[in-house]
Amino acid sequence: MGWRPRLVSLRTTFAVSFATVTAAVTLLVGFLSYNAAARLVRVDQVSVFDEVVQDLRGEVRQYRMDPEDFSSSAPGHDLVRPARTDVQVLGPDGGIVDKGNPGLPVTGSDRGIAAARTAGQLVVHKDVDVGDDVYRVATVALGGGRGAVQVAQEFSDTEDLLRALQQRTVVLMAAVVVGAGLFGWWLARRITRRLVILTDAAEAVARTRRLGIEVPVTGHDEVGRLGRAFDRMLGRLAQSEEDQRRLVQDAGHELRTPLTSLRTNISLLRRIDELPPDSRAELVADLGQEARELTDLVNELVDLAAGQSDSEPPQRVDLADLAEDVVGLARRRTGREITLRVSGDTAARVRPGMLTRAMSNLVENAAKFDRAGTAPIELVLCGPARGRPGPVRVMVLDRGPGVADSDLDRIFDRFYRAADARSLPGSGLGLSIVREVSLAHGGTPFARCREGGGSVIGFTIGDGDGDGDGAGNGGVTAAGGAAGRG
């Protein structure tokens, strides 16, 4: 099967990453800081030593001085001894006249400097071991073969100090890395706690298939936004599932009526030879009517389901052009006089197929409930003034029996039919499709009784309450006018 790396949690990954970055930065800063500090300390020590040696050379060159002048036992000796500086005086033969503390080694070159005739001659020895310490030694001739003075500066203390500084830096860096790791783990735990809640909620949904699980996520950062978006997504999915369930239940309920009638009529077909001619004709007409109603119901169910889909791409079109096609088709189907009135800017970004279906449903609904009417059915489109934002309002005005006040709030519900309309053909889905199309375009459906009889039913595209009547809108011109179409 091969080896696979073990999956780690986001919390661990975040903590390790945080500690790694902190370690890299700490090591770099610590290394550079230590090198800079060590360089400064060493340069400072060397500068102090060189200054002491140069002062000594200048003094012996300027004045005639003997070994006794530098004796540590003589009061007021001429050489100032800085801290960690050792002085040892040599005689003319290179022997030690005044031993340093600690005593310094004397080499042949040092003896040669002690016998030198020129004052200020110099020999320097680096890294001289004296006991457990390391010194830098400079031997300066007094001149005239009178001897020499050895000056030594201890450097081992400086190196010990730097080693201690190095150790403390390492310990401090280790403490910072560990602290960074702990802080990163705590911070990752605090940040990922809400992600864990989201993960648990998602796993619970996948396990139980229940979409009503509450997601208790707070905050205004990216995780909070993700939690709220996830909660809204679950709400939308739950609502969609509920809508589908209701649609299936309502459709099943509505389909039973025509199917039961069809079954009854089909059972009568077995005895059609026994029926009188009038009953046969009535039976055949009944079957045709039930088949048409069943076909219309299935088509409207398909349209309603398609209306909930966003598969049709939105386009910017003039709704007046769509309305002209709707009016022409409705005239041929119903034989009624249908006029179109347009005002304002009716161009909008919509899904043309859905809008055409919604307007057709409004017109056909008006024709169905006003079968014996003689007054024209009016399709009215009201848009905002050109160049100004605002909703587009689509409405159909008729002079039919109107809608009872108790039914105004329910006529857009699926399969709902008013009491006085249940004897008429139809499924109760036409206005429901209108509502779905309006909501899909950011608008709202509306219905009210029309003054003088009839009803006003329509919807808006975009924002707006849509409450209004074409006759009461001064911007809507009569059919056949300059701005009208009919």
53, part of any domain: yes
Q: CA 42 to CA 22: how far, in whole Å?
A: 30
Which range in 68-77, 256-265, 266-275, 323-332 is most confidently predicted, on average pLDDT?
323-332
What is the number of structural domains in the chain? 3
Q: Give yes or no: residues 292 and 382 share one domain.
A: no
**Which phi and psi angles does 137 have, rounded to 5°?**
-120, 135
Q: 134 has which bridge partners? A: 129
pLDDT score for 1: 45
Q: Is 459's pLDDT higher than 90?
A: yes
Q: 88 has which bridge partners? A: 150
Q: Give yes or no: residues 36 and 114 share one domain.
A: yes
Kindly report whether the peptide bond that precedes residue 258 is cis, defined as omega within 30 degrees of 0.
no
Q: Give yes or no: residues 122 and 147 share one domain.
A: yes
Q: Give yes or no: residues 331 and 293 share one domain.
A: no
Lookup: tokens for 369: 């409930």
SS3 119: coil
Q: Is 213's pLDDT higher than 60?
A: yes
Q: Give yes or no: residues 265 and 349 share one domain.
A: no
Q: Give yes or no: residues 284 and 323 share one domain.
A: no
- pLDDT-derived band at 415 (thresholds 50, 70, 90) equals low
Bigger pLDDT: 416 or 329?
329
**Which phi and psi angles does 89 have, rounded to 5°?**
-105, 135
Please choose, from the candidates 391, 318, 400, 406, the residue with its C-alpha nearest in 3D space to the C-alpha of residue 362: 400
Q: Give yes or no: residues 393 and 446 share one domain.
A: yes
Q: What is the pLDDT of residues 82-121, one digit of tens each?
A: 556 788 888 888 888 888 888 888 888 888 888 888 888 8
> Which of 161, 176, 203 is the last residue before a domain boundary?
161
Residue 287's region, left for phi above 0, alpha for psi from -120 to 50, else beta, is alpha
> Which of 311, 332, 363 is the last residue before a domain boundary?
311
33, part of any domain: yes
Q: CA 198 to CA 223: how far, in whole Å?
A: 9
Please choose, from the candidates 474, 464, 468, 444, the residue with its C-alpha nearest in 3D space to the C-alpha of residue 456: 468
pLDDT score for 169: 80
Q: Give yes or no: residues 291 and 330 share one domain.
A: no
Cβ atoms 258, 297 nearer than 8 A = yes
Q: Give yes or no: residues 290 and 326 share one domain.
A: no
Lookup: tokens for 294: 């069943």
Q: CA 395 to CA 397: how far, in whole Å?
A: 7
- pLDDT-derived band at 324 (thresholds 50, 70, 90) equals very high
Torsion sign over Cα 50, 51, 54, 56: negative
255, part of any domain: yes
Q: What is the pLDDT of residues 141-194, one digit of tens each?
A: 988 888 999 888 877 666 667 777 778 888 888 888 888 878 878 877 777 777
Q: CA 41 to CA 34: how far, in whole Å?
A: 10
Cβ atoms 346, 318 nearer than 8 A = yes
Q: Judging by beta carbons within 10 Å of its beta carbon (0-12, 13-18, 19+), is residue 156 exposed, middle or buried?
A: middle
Q: CA 435 to CA 358: how far, in whole Å?
A: 8
196, part of any domain: no
Q: What is the pLDDT of residues 335-359, one digit of tens each?
A: 888 999 999 999 999 988 888 888 9
- CATH number of domain containing 376: 3.30.565.10
Q: Give yes or no: residues 307 and 327 share one domain.
A: no
- CATH number of domain containing 146: 3.30.450
Chain Cα centroid distance, residue 246: 35
Strands 315-318 and 148-154: unpaired
235, part of any domain: yes
Bigger pLDDT: 137 or 72?
137
Q: What is the CA radius of gyration of the chain?
A: 52
SS3 163: helix
387: number of CA atoms within 13 Å, CB side?
A: 0
Q: Give yes or no: residues 146 and 274 share one domain.
A: no
Residue reference for tokens 């661990």 = 12
Does this model's pTM top 0.85? My answer is no
Parent domain of 116: 11-161
Q: Give yes or no: residues 228 and 329 share one domain.
A: no
Q: CA 464 to CA 154: how far, in whole Å?
A: 92
Please choose, from the candidates 325, 401, 333, the residue with its C-alpha nearest in 3D space to the C-alpha of residue 364: 333
366, part of any domain: yes
pLDDT score for 469: 44
Please choose, from the candidates 421, 445, 464, the residue with its C-alpha nearest in 3D space to the C-alpha of residue 361: 445
Q: What is the pLDDT of residues 378-391, one digit of tens each?
A: 999 999 988 888 89
Determine the average pLDDT of the residues in 128-132.
78
pLDDT score for 413: 75
121, part of any domain: yes
- CATH number of domain containing 261: 1.10.287.130
Q: Is 232's pLDDT higher than 50?
A: yes
